[in-house]
Amino acid sequence: MCCTITSNDIIIKSWEHLAEEVYHDSWKPEMSRYRSDYAFRGLSDASYQLKNSFLRNSGNHPEFEYHLLRNFRKYARTTEPNQTSTQWRSLVLAQHHGLPTRLIDWTYSPFIAMHFATANTEKFDIDGVIWQLDFVKINQLSPEPLQTILKNEKCNAFTVEMLEESFSSLSRFDDVTGHGHAIFFEPPSLDDRIVNQFALFSVMTSPTSIFDDWLLKHPGLYRRLIIPKELKWEIRDKLDQANITERVLFPGLDGLAHWLKRHYQPSSGSGLM
């Protein structure tokens, strides 16, 4: 699926084409507003699968998930209260700081997804991709009691608070929900990075599931915007002009350094920038 062009793939022809496609189907006539139901994920290599970091790190050993999270909660020292008070909050915090988890990062912002598709200049000789998933319809496919939660809260995305009220642990979530389901939820605003990246997460009812496999069974719920390598520098430069950079998305000296490193890197065949 990931290496072959399919009917779900749109080959981007220009910056203008990309800007149009990311707002596909966003007009809501009943509201007379533009409100997208899509979540976005940008990747520098179009061949990358939607594998979570736990699977990439630990392989087919789901039993390792409990030990990773247990030890993270045991040793984590945080300045803010309640950040590890439940497994769900610990899971978000762990993902945020690079621990392998079953979560996958997404954003509500198509321009932030464009950033992640074009941030790695070492991959500028490879086509990138923006995954575009209808998170509203995906959440509507979830079984009870998740459907009741959404109806009671009158919302389209879950939150950590909703999940921890009904599921005391990830194993409880897996057992009650059943194998083969995926949902999207919003993390708490742990810091400026999560806020600035307009973040949300997907989670499946198994740490070793691959989202691509699930999407094959639901082809009407996603699109892939293929960004040809020839367009990456133009998209990158225009995002920088719009202040969609590491300086904003990763507040602090590390983000500043990454932005400056790329900003003063000559493009192929050019002189000084």
Q: Where are the domains of the chain?
A: 9-234
Rounded CA-CA distance 248/93 in Å is 20
pLDDT single digits (tens) 121-141:
999 999 999 999 999 999 999
Rounded CA-CA distance 128/114 in Å is 9
pTM of the model: 0.93
What's the confidence (pLDDT) of residue 8?
95
What's the confidence (pLDDT) of residue 83?
76
Give the single-character DSSP code of 93: H
The pLDDT tens digits along the chain (273 residues) read 445 678 999 999 999 999 999 999 999 999 999 999 999 999 999 999 999 999 999 999 999 999 999 999 999 887 776 777 889 999 999 999 999 999 999 999 999 999 999 999 999 999 999 999 999 999 999 999 999 999 999 999 999 999 999 999 999 999 999 999 999 999 999 899 999 999 999 999 999 999 999 999 999 999 999 999 999 999 999 999 999 999 999 999 999 999 999 999 887 655 444
Average pLDDT, the chain: 94
Rounded CA-CA distance 259/112 in Å is 14
Helix axes 232-241, 110-118, angle to 10 degrees: 130
pLDDT single digits (tens) 251-264:
999 999 999 999 99
